[in-house]
Amino acid sequence: MVNTLAAKVRLASLPTPPPASPGIFLKVTYGTISPFGVPQQVIMINNQFPGPVINCTSNNNIVVNVFNHLDVPFLLSWNGIQQRKNSWQEGMPRTSCPILPRQNFTYKWQPKDQIGTFFYYPTIGTQKAAGGYGPIRVHSRALIPVPFDPPANEFDVLISDWYGIGHKELARFLDSGRHLTRSRGVIINGLRQPSLGTSLCLAWRPAKSTGTVSATWV
């Protein structure tokens, strides 16, 4: 059995895991997007911004192997998922060791008696402002009835401030004693909000290859 507090292996010696392997594999890298027309470095998960959805079922044992390809330590937390007697899986500084650059860590948790929509996000410094987050869907077990009809479809909406600077520069700004002003804008699922006077309607387009959903303003 792998010790979950020391399950860190140099990525250089690890081959890329095949899609059929058990568990969930999240590759953390830098990438570039331009929601306001200016290229900006962000943190991507599996080359996606926001990261891919984690689909699971209540009471299942979830195994998430996170590979850190950044040049700084990294941690993921699971917002809303209750950690029972395993707080070291919460992914918070001081209770979890950071995943060092070019290393990995395997998270193991269980959405015990939980259903609903949650999300994962980075917890070190100002990394959350640069991305690294994504949705979590916890479905009810088939044997447990729920008091509503099955949804026609599922959509994940992730809204965040956009400061227009990298997370390292943002951290240096705060460490200098200065305070954040208003963000440059708001992004929804990695896209810029519409300008005033335009429609606030979103066109949702399921991605055929991944089953996830993208959005564009109309």
**Residue-level pLDDT at 107:** 92
11-217 CATH fold: Immunoglobulin-like (2.60.40)
| pTM, rounded to two decimals | 0.75
User: Is residue 76 predicted with pLDDT exceeding 60?
Assistant: yes
Which amino acid makes up residue 90?
E
**Residue-level pLDDT at 204:** 44
Listed residue (125, 135, 124, 26) closest to 75, CA to CA:
124
Looking at residues 172-181, what average pLDDT do you find? 84
**Residue-level pLDDT at 163:** 87
What's the rounded Cα separation, in Å, for the pair 50 and 112? 25
Cross-strand bridge partners of residue 202: 217
pLDDT digits (tens, 9 = 90+) for 187-214: 899 888 665 443 344 444 444 444 444 4
Average pLDDT over the chain, rounded to whole? 78
Task: Specify whether the CB–CB gap between 102 and 10 falls below 8 A.
Answer: yes
Looking at residues 160-169, what average pLDDT do you find? 87
